A and B are shown apart, each in its own frame.
Chain A
Amino acid sequence: MAMGPDIADILPPNAAGVNVPGIGQDIKKAVALARKFNEEVVKPVYKKIDQAVQMDHDYLPWEFIKTANEWGFYTLWIPKLFGGGGWHMISIYVFVEEIASCCSGLANVIGVHYLGMISLMTGFNMKLIKEVLDEVVRGEKTGVPCLISLALTEPAAGTDVEENELLEQGKVGTIAKRCEGGYRLNGSKCFISGGHYSTWHIAVCYEDRNRPADTFMMLAIRNGMPGFSFGAKENKMGQRACVASELLFEDCFVPDSRVLISVGTFKNTGLKYYDVSNMALESALGGSRPGVGAFACGVARGAYEAALDYAETKMVGGKRLINHQWAQNILAEMFKNVAMARLTYIQAAQLTCIWGIFRILHQTWSFWPLRILPKSFLAIVVKPLMNLKVATNMVRKIVFNPKNLKEYQAAIGWASIAKFGVSDIGLINCMLAAQLMGVDGMRQDHNLEKHLRDSKLLQIYEGTNQLNRQIVFKHLIGRDIEGVEMFPKKNAADSVEGTKISGQGRAVND
């Protein structure tokens, strides 16, 4: 029998790293740090940066990026094992909410680097993870920021590349051909957040354009590699501080050592590669979608705070706007929206930490040593082990264990709920604020105008809200109903049949 949301999907999980002493402290520290950063850095510059990009959309906010690097924001959430600050991952979500309450574009300049980091971790090639994150950590020490981006979207494939079922029928264009010692990469990526100021790019590509889901690859591309170049910077409606880049690959040679995930790297693991690639992609996006929810919660809050400030001083019909009963109730509605938005994305972030992409960091044997042992000990004793192939294999066995399917589904499903649910709230709050502020809210010298422009993108990136609803249906609804089909595809006779969602919950194609 079909059921509503399963309480088991949101019960406090039996894993290390939640509700333990110290996590709350990390969250409080992150919020305090973000507020300090907002006052000292973000507020003085965010409108200037927005206007600078409006005048010249080739402008990049290098000063801000360097300042964020000096504050340590590109390493704080890197595990201590790799030389980072090791702050609990849940604290980055509340951190970006704070920054986004001022400017979601600048929040993304920091946040999208961690999407890059998550993508890097997806294949659990421990040696390569170590190599890239070492450079990020060095970049903080030398004052030369080293950021990571995820290069996923293609000009002809947006939604297609975010869902394996669609990918099978999609027209992908970034193809890696096997050659001596590695791969030759050709194609292009577009709308890549942070591309132009990142040093590393985790490029999603395919060995066979006719079987993309079965030949899915992730490669680590570094600036300066022959054949790799930057293309145009997009001219966007909002979130202008965070560049949307075009990345071009023309016979770009990528050595085997830079392969994060490929069919070849999963040979003899006993895992079906289609499932691995599906999980890898969904896990990466499942890690960042609660982050989009956090951005959106910040936007919803920023709109609320703008409206509240306005209502306190504005006179309407001979009295202060805030003393009109209808205005009070609109403000209460907006306040409620922020509260519900926060609860939703934090719930999703918790599940991501313990059942999603960060699961490996929340095993009893991994969580406590990483939390307690000093960084120097980890660097000398544990870190060298990451160069061993056995480390990669061991971690992959844990992460891609089919026994954890239901927990994985809860994490992925809730990530999508946070993404589309909260981003809708972000725009709703902006529109409610507009109802209260009228044309004053349309002025660029008020904060609402920018939040309004910024909020729309949150409904589009990391998979459109429409795709995210499909993901929720797939992982949290369809899994319990026999005979449900999704993503119908045309067969040779031009009839339509969908992918069956089995009672076990795994998408099956055969």
Chain B
Amino acid sequence: MIDRFIPEAHQPYIKLARDFARKDIAPDALKNDVPLNANKALMQTASEIGFLNLTEDYGVTPGLLAQILAIISEADASMAVVIFTHTAAMSILHEALEGPQLSLFQDQITGSGNLPLAFQSYSCPDEIDMPQAEERNGKYFLQGELTNLALVNSARYAVIPARFKGDTGISYFWVDLTDQGVKRTAVETLGVHACGMGDLRLDQAAATLVGRRNEGGQYLDGIIGKMAMAAAAISVGIMIGSLQSALDYAGQRQQGGRPINEWGEVQMLLGNMDSQIRAAESTLHHLCGISDTKTLDFKRSACAAALHLGQMACCVASDGVQLLGGYGYMKDFGQEKRMRDAVQTSMLLGLPAYRKTDMFGMMI
């Protein structure tokens, strides 16, 4: 986000995010853009600087989370989705657990070398087939398949939804992905390659119930506003990166005997990108102002922003490619990656068309 929107108290985090984006992420963003690639070293760095602990317990407000993700996404949306996914999983744990129970899981994360958690960042429960949960002798086991889990290939643990037979509600479970009942399959995707995505096949996989049975829906409801704002922020970051790249190119590339930024059509396209970004930033700024309240109004606004800014980012990133012409379509320039990432991140939190019908549900 543009600095004028960032409160003084957040500046140290913002500086840290900018340094991380500039020094650690940006130089290798294109090199890391390989399907089925997960950059564990970079995830380790994110962990070391505290970016895998961006929850309220550590004093990170939803607004600050969004600002950090926008900055990181400007350099590479993949790393932003890594943090998004881990933070979503952690937030479910925070919604469900307190004190020693929570520490138990945190210790396991530390023991795994602080690898981020896998989570179903791209889906809402209504649109997926869920594994079935079973309790035997006080222990829990999962059977079935779960598709499209972000970070599933690099994570040691996952937080996943499942249903007990006969239940209508969902329950969340902690699963060790190295358990013998777990089989992971990596999936190649359109974008966000350095985060990685895959499917899980669970065959009587041992699991730990997170919080209470059937209350997964409430936990998810408790984090949806914050994560929707975070998704919107990722879209904003992609748009800013795309505009910057297009501006740089338009000042250097000559056609018709002059830099292309002197042509009216190019100016209009760049101006249109900028106007959309400024409107998106204002939306995000407004959300930051109301994000500490877990009201329905915040949730509705955040979900609307995620939907709208996600689609906006697809258009802006597409224009970003267009402004570079043939060069924009080549993998050497980063614009085509931003377009792929924009489309993929617009799917965060679930099927866009279905999420719109959810908005109606919140209205009434």
Contact = CB atoms under 8 A, between A and B. Distances in A.
B322 A445 contact: no
B331 A235 contact: yes
A466 B264 CA distance: 11
A236 B350 CA distance: 29
Contacts of B153: none
Contacts of B126: 316-318
B71 interface: no
A237 B255 contact: no
B184 to A, nearest CB: 15
Interface in B323-349: 325-326, 328-332, 336, 339-340, 343-344, 346-347
Given A170-B256, A453-B340, A234 B330 contact: yes
Contacts of B340: 237, 453
A190 interface: yes
Contacts of A490: 257-258
A439 to B, nearest CB: 4
Contacts of A237: 329-331, 336, 339-340
Contacts of B265: 466, 469-470
Contacts of A431: 311, 314, 343
Contacts of B350: 438
B343 A434 contact: yes
B204 to A, nearest CB: 25
A437 to B, nearest CB: 8
B352 interface: yes
B78 interface: no
Given A153-B326, A326-B357, A444 B35 contact: yes
A349 interface: no
Give chain A's interface secondary structure class: mixed
A126 interface: no
B259 to A, nearest CB: 11
Interface string A331-375: 000000000000000000000000000000000000000000000
A244 B311 CA distance: 30
A457 interface: yes
A445 B187 contact: yes
Given A235-B331, A439-B347, A444-B188, A460 B354 contact: no
A464 interface: yes
Interface string A114-157: 00000000000000000000000000000000000000010011
Given A170-B255, A456-B336, A442 B189 contact: yes
Contacts of A153: 326
Contacts of A469: 265
B353 to A, nearest CB: 4
A494 to B, nearest CB: 11
Interface residues of A, number: 59
Interface string A155-166: 011111000011
A489 B256 contact: yes
A441 B322 CA distance: 23
B228 interface: no
B127 A317 contact: yes
Number of contact residues on B: which range applies? 35 or more
A318 B148 CA distance: 19
A55 to B, nearest CB: 10
A158 B260 CA distance: 12
Given A443-B188, A459-B322, A438 B256 contact: no
A452 interface: yes
Interface in A465-492: 465-466, 469-470, 487, 489-490
A255 B165 CA distance: 81
B351 interface: yes
A244 B318 CA distance: 20
Nearest to A448: B190
B256 A435 contact: no
Contacts of A235: 330-332
Given A236-B330, A456-B336, A456-B339, A160 B255 contact: yes
A311 B260 CA distance: 43
B32 to A, nearest CB: 15
B147 interface: yes
B354 A316 contact: yes
A64 interface: no
A33 B351 CA distance: 37
Interface string A249-280: 00000000000000000000000000000000
Contact of B123 (A191, A236, A327, A439): A439
Given A237-B331, A326-B353, A434-B347, A440 B147 contact: yes
A54 B314 contact: no
Contacts of A437: 351
Nearest to B268: A466
A238 B148 CA distance: 23
A326 B266 CA distance: 36
Contacts of A449: 189-190
Interface in A209-247: 234-238, 244
9 contacts: A169-B256, A317-B127, A434-B343, A438-B347, A439-B148, A442-B189, A464-B322, A466-B266, A490-B257
Interface of A: 54, 153, 156-160, 165-166, 169-171, 190-191, 234-238, 244, 314-318, 324, 326-327, 330, 427, 431, 434-445, 449, 452-453, 456-457, 459-461, 464-466, 469-470, 487, 489-490
Q: Which 7 A-B pairs have the closest CB atoms?
A: A169-B257, A439-B122, A438-B351, A444-B188, A237-B336, A166-B256, A235-B331
